[in-house]
Amino acid sequence: MSLLCSRISSHIILPAASSPTAMFTTVTPGASLSLEAADIAVVVIYFIFVMVVGIWSSVRANRNTVGGYFLAGRSMSWWPIGASLMSSNVGSGLFIGLAGTGAAGGIAVGGFEWNAAWVLVALGWVFVPVYISAGVVTMPEYLAKRFGGQRIRIYMSVLSLILYIFTKISTDIFSGALFIQVSLGWDLYLSTGILLLVTAAYTVAGGLTAVIYTDAFQTVIMVVGAFTLMFIAFSKVGWYEGLLDHYPSAIPSVTVANTTCHLPRSDAFRLLRDPVTGDLPWPGLVFGLTVLATWVWCADQVIVQRSLSARSLSHAKAGSVLGGYLKLLPMFFIVMPGMISRALFPDEVGCVDPAVCQSVCGASVGCSNIAYPKLVVELMPVGLRGLMLAVMLAALMSSLTSIFNSSSTLFTLDLYHRARPRATERELMLVGRYMVFILVLVCISLLWIPVIQTANSGQLFDYIQSVTSFLAPPITAVFLMAIFWPRANEQGAFWGLMIGLVVGLVRMVLEFVYTVPACGQPDTRPAVLADVHYLYFALILLTLTCLIIAAVSLATPPIPKESLYRLTWWSRHSQEPRIDLPDAWIASDPVTSDPSPEPDASLQSWWRKTALWLCGLSGSSSASRSPAGQEIKLTSLQEEPLWRIVCNINAMLLLVVNVFLWGYFS
């Protein structure tokens, strides 16, 4: 990188004391990773296993029906569901973002991961029972049944796809490209294109079944690889005691005069921080974050779709518990290694001078996002480098496949099926698999990457959470009111969503117009940006939306009680026949609708038969449909007493462990 030359020639520097990290590591900064034969073999073996698992799960899956493709036939066990919940959320964006924010600010960002345990329990014990009793496939479909009308369902589908662009697809592609750039120096667009093609292949072929089973396999790869790097990194820094000693002194050699932005935070090892001056104030971390997490884990199609694929409510609950345990791990194998990366490489990871940062990572606002790939480049031996490359590929592919499958579900069942309510099952299957609009989502996401690179001082995770805090709280409010307050009606929900969206968009636009000042520059942003943390804003926006929903609902006629059976928490066990709202769009259920007539197999060409088999559209669809008795089971909340008790005990144990960790690191 010619880092030293650029430091001397491109700007005036203020010398700082030599970093003490040079005293305890012999790692050479600026080294580039070159894949040896062993590394390449590991990556090839990884891809072979992924494709084998994808093909195996695709073949064994019921892919002839919409229920089989989008909900895995509602036959999934708890362990792949729990693993998929983890890997769908912990994508490459989270690896890069969590480690980068940990490098910049300490362990507080790990609270985002630990908060997930509480809302995952809420998912299994509160939200999923309502969704199952309602008999829905998508989240917008639930709102359509609950409130009636068409506008909320269409709005929620479109908004969810927009959120996927800004907070999921673009960040995952950017982080994956960043890792490849830092570690291998490969062409970013070619590498990303290959990954997208591979992920699309088994997502299209196998549907949710293939996605969940490959997610489960890739979760194992992620955990094993991340723990391997964690132990190597901790050994370099002198374990946890060494991190406590060296992180506070991880000061870059080039600083900006008359500033303190180069200094590590004094509260870096505290989880709960000052409510006013903290970078992640504890009321926001505890309460504001729960607002965002409720949308992510309990109302977002990507996550909830996995729980709805469970063969029973007990399996959905157990999957939530397993996912909660797995979410305790990123603090240790992502956040703390990010802090170690700054301790080992303060000049690169902790740079504050814009010219230096530009030369190191191509972003003048900071280079904390390279914390995790920097560790891989510098510390991993031959063979294990390939393992870590496989880890990042697993993280990227698992999150992208989950998003693609859920986006396909939303588009097909909530938008396309709305436009063509009499569409046959075969038609919906073809639309769900061959969706040109997914390419549109990816293209828009690629165009948004430069904005991500410079937003929130270059800290990817802060960008993801801030954008979510501007757009998600109204969604959380609507779902909470829909489930717990039967008096909420369509008018209240719609205007709550609309006004909440306008307020959130105003804050979002201001956030991108008035960027965070660089080190040493005065903060000229409006007070609503400089003084109101995005987690506090999420709380304010949730409260505002709830008040609007309540006021408008009370001023307009209520929804009849007979139209709410099995659609709220209080009526989930009701056996009364539900009368659908007269103005609601309730299309024929694509899971059980009759497919179009199959042409005579003897008249089909061999290439057509092969193509249909690969896509899961061969054979008689009627033969693969669920029997009538199975349809009752899909909306049943019955549990075996033994497994209900086991799930309850494990949920309590998870929450006890979670509370202990919060208290220990507070």
Segment 14-57, tens digit of pLDDT: 333 333 333 333 333 344 455 677 777 877 787 777 777 766 66
More confident position, 376 or 562 = 562
Mean of the pLDDT values across residues 373-401?
75
Q: How far is CA 502 from CA 155, 317, 383, 544, in A?
A: 14, 36, 51, 12
Does pLDDT of 139 surpass 90?
Answer: no
- Residue with structure tokens 């723990």? 227
The pLDDT score that the predictor gives to residue 59 is 61
Q: What is the pLDDT of residue 427?
A: 59
- The length of the chain in residues reads 666
pLDDT tens column, 599-657? 444 445 555 555 554 454 554 444 333 433 333 345 678 888 999 999 999 999 999 99
Residues 146 and 66 sit within 8 Å (Cβ to Cβ):
no
Q: Higher pLDDT residue, 411 or 161?
A: 161
Over residues 337-361, mean pLDDT: 83
Work out the pLDDT band at 13, boundaries 50, 70, 90.
very low
Q: How confident is the model at residue 385 (pLDDT cuts 50, 70, 90)?
A: confident
Which range, 6-15, 45-54, 456-465, is most confident?
45-54
Residue 211 host element (H or E): helix 188-237
Which residues does residue 15 pair with via DSSP β-bridges, in sequence order? 254
For the cut 70, the answer to whether the pLDDT of residue 71 exceeds it is no
**Where does 210-296 show beta strands of DSSP type E?**
254-255
- Angle 457-98-523 (CA atoms, 0-180°, nearest 5)? 20
Confidence band for 395, pLDDT divided at 50, 70 and 90: low
Bridge partners, 310 (sequence order): 76
Max intra-chain CA distance, the chain: 82
Considering only residues 575 and 525, tell me which one the structure prediction assigns the higher pLDDT: 575
Answer with the residue of higher pLDDT: 162 or 488: 488
Q: Is residue 107 within 8 Å of 271, Cβ to Cβ?
A: yes
Confidence of residue 564 (pLDDT cuts 50, 70, 90): very high
* Percentage with pLDDT > 90 across the chain: 27
What is the average pLDDT across 507-528?
Answer: 78
β-strands 254-255, 14-15 pairing: antiparallel
Identify the bridge partners of residue 76 per DSSP, sorted by sequence position.
310
Q: How confident is the model at residue 461 (pLDDT cuts 50, 70, 90)?
A: low
Please check the confidence at residue 209 and state whether its pLDDT lies above 70: no
225 or 215: which leads in pLDDT? 225
Point out the least confidently predicted range of 166-170, 203-207, 341-345, 658-662. Answer: 203-207
Copy the structure tokens of residue 662.
Answer: 């919060």
For residue 12, name the pLDDT band (cuts at 50, 70, 90): very low
Cα separation, 319 vs 597, whole angstroms: 38
The residue ranking higher by pLDDT, 221 or 144, is: 144
Cross-strand bridge partners of residue 273: 281
| Average pLDDT score over residue span 123-135 | 93
**pLDDT exceeds cutoff 80 at 481:** yes
Whole-number pLDDT of residue 197: 66
Structure tokens of 520? 């040493």
Q: What is the CA radius of gyration of the chain?
A: 25
Average pLDDT, integer, range 224-247: 90
Read off the pLDDT of each residue in 521-534 and give the average, rounded to a whole number: 81
- Rounded Cα distance, 647 and 627, in Å: 29
Band (pLDDT 50/70/90 cuts) for residue 298 is: very high
**Of 83-97, 222-236, 579-593, the least confident:** 579-593
Res 219: pLDDT:
78
- In the structure, what pLDDT confidence band is assigned to residue 114 with cuts at 50, 70 and 90? very high
Chain centroid to CA 482 = 24
CB atoms within 10 A of CB 600: 7
Q: What are the backbone dihedrals phi and psi of residue 514, each rounded to the nearest 5 degrees, phi first? A: -100, 90
Mean pLDDT of the chain: 76
pLDDT at 375 over 90: no
- d(Cα 82, Cα 319) in Å, to the nearest integer? 4
Residue 61 has pLDDT above 60, yes or no: no
- For the chain, percent of residues with pLDDT exceeding 70: 67
Q: How confident is the model at residue 540 (pLDDT cuts 50, 70, 90)?
A: very high
Please give the residue that has the higher pLDDT: either 55 or 384: 384
The pLDDT score that the predictor gives to residue 28 is: 39
Determine contact, residues 457/365, Cβ cutoff 8 Å.
yes
> Which residue type is seen at 270?
R
* Contact in structure between 408 and 438 (CB atoms under 8 Å): yes
Structural domains of the chain ordered from first start: 39-272+280-594 (1.20.1730.10)
Query: What is the arithmetic mean of pLDDT over 47-74?
Result: 60
Residue 152, token pair as written in the block: 């909320």
Mean pLDDT of 92-101: 79
pTM of the full structure = 0.79
Task: Quickly state the pLDDT bin for 119 (edges 50, 70, 90).
Answer: very high
Residue 277 has pLDDT above 50, yes or no: yes
In contact, 565 and 576? CB cutoff 8 Å: yes
pLDDT per residue over 407-454, tens digit each?
A: 767 777 666 666 666 666 565 655 555 555 566 666 776 666 666 555
Q: Is the pLDDT of residue 587 over 80?
A: no
Most confident of 32-46, 393-407, 529-543, 583-597: 529-543
**pLDDT of residue 488 exceeding 90:** yes
H/E stretch holding 361 reads helix 354-361
**Backbone CA torsion sign across 201, 206, 207, 210:** negative
Lookup: tokens for 194: 């290959």
> Which helix (H) or strand (E) covers residue 15, if one does?
strand 14-15
More confident of the two residues 52 and 268: 268
